[in-house]
Amino acid sequence: MTACVPFTGSYTADDVEFLLKPMVLEDTPVAVKEALIQSGQKHYSQLLSHESLPAQHYLALFHEALRDNKPQLARHALILAGQIAANRRHGIALVSLARAGTPIGVLLKHLLKRYFNREAAHYSVSILRDVGLDSNALRHILKRHNPESLVFVDGWTGKGIIAKQLAESLARFAHSEGVLIRPELHVLTDLCGSAAVTASTEDYLIPSCILNATVSGLVSRTFYDPAYWAADDFHGCVFYQHFAGDDLSAYFVGEVLSAAAALWRQGFADALLQQPPNLDKDSLRRRAQTCISGVQQRYHVRDSHLIKPGIGESTRVLLRREARLLLLKQAHDPATRHLRWLAQARGVPSAVQADLPFHAIALIKDCS
């Protein structure tokens, strides 16, 4: 059997190569999926609930969020691109973690070329909790690029699970392949002190988190079941090509790039390129851990995996998991407008907890 062929989704070849295997996967309804995962019968990486197009009102919330937040997103993307340019002197290979990292990686690739005169390759690969980084995808990249050039990219951190998974995967890869790769995760915002490089530590609304495939190249969340995979296969995905008429992937990138151009023209280049101050990562970690522990005790949550902090993680829960409760720092925060809409549409109760260090936290329903 031959290895998988990279594809670009709805992006162009100048944007990204997805090192994923497009497949047809049976739909697992959310409630069934949740029961299978929590009972231990299946791992979440083996199941996928098929997506539908967003409702018009929800789509309007995305456009509002993009209008209001793209200047901040553009600023942070420019800062992150500047840090990458400074830290990778001899080549850049962006490796975005599918799928939340993919739109950010596309942005970074274009910003690096436009404002830092740096060419960058860009690949999007799968990483799954408990499964790890797709080692076949990593081997594919290393045939073309020096290990020192790799830059792992995601949108944000929540509890730091993906950063930890990345470090563990690269440690195993070094042991098996004899190739050392820096386990440095680059994100727009780091809520828990687990990223190596970040432009922010603020829990703010990154507009791409609101949508699923239609802002991520029409690609699904990744999945992997060893029972059905050949030894040289990439991890899998569903390519929602039939959503092409509603795809906003290129539109999102274009809007943020326009916002970045406006910032640059306004003479903020010097400020944008300044290295941010040293972050107190220990303090961020303690803040996140204290919050998670407090929520776990207050709401009698059996497993901390059922607690998802931050706007981005909360959105994921309400889009594709069985949610139990949405916690909000403020009742009418514009940054959580889409979360409140999702909760109401799905019959998920919400509560205000003013002492949260994040704008939102979602609790997954305990099916046990």
Q: What is the pLDDT of residues 131-140, one digit of tens each?
A: 999 999 999 9
Instruction: Give the pLDDT band (50/70/90) at residue 311.
Output: very high
Q: What is the pLDDT of residues 22-39, one digit of tens each?
A: 998 888 888 888 888 888
Question: Contact 190/284 with Cβ under 8 angstroms?
Answer: yes
Pairing of strands 185-187, 197-198: parallel
Question: Contact 191/358 with Cβ under 8 angstroms?
Answer: yes
The domain locations on the chain are 17-273, 281-364
44 by Cβ neighbours in 10 Å (0-12 / 13-18 / 19+) ranks as buried
To the nearest 5 percent, what fractions of the chain are helix, strand and coil?
A: 45, 15, 40
Q: The pTM is what?
A: 0.93
Q: Give the span between the Cα atoms of 191 and 358, in whole angstroms.
A: 8
**What's the pLDDT at 278?**
61
**What's the pLDDT at 1?**
33
Instruction: Give the pLDDT band (50/70/90) at residue 275.
Output: low
Instruction: Work out the number of other CB atoms within 10 angstroms of the CB of residue 269.
Output: 14
Within 274-336, residue ranges assigned H as helices are 281-298, 311-320
Q: What is the pLDDT of residues 198-245, one digit of tens each?
A: 999 999 999 999 999 999 999 999 999 888 888 899 999 999 999 999
Question: Contact 108/78 with Cβ under 8 angstroms?
Answer: no
CATH superfamily of 281-364: Ribosomal protein L30/S12 (3.30.1330.30)
pLDDT above 80 (res 346): yes
Distance between start and end Cα atoms, the chain: 41
Assigned token pair, 154: 């995601």
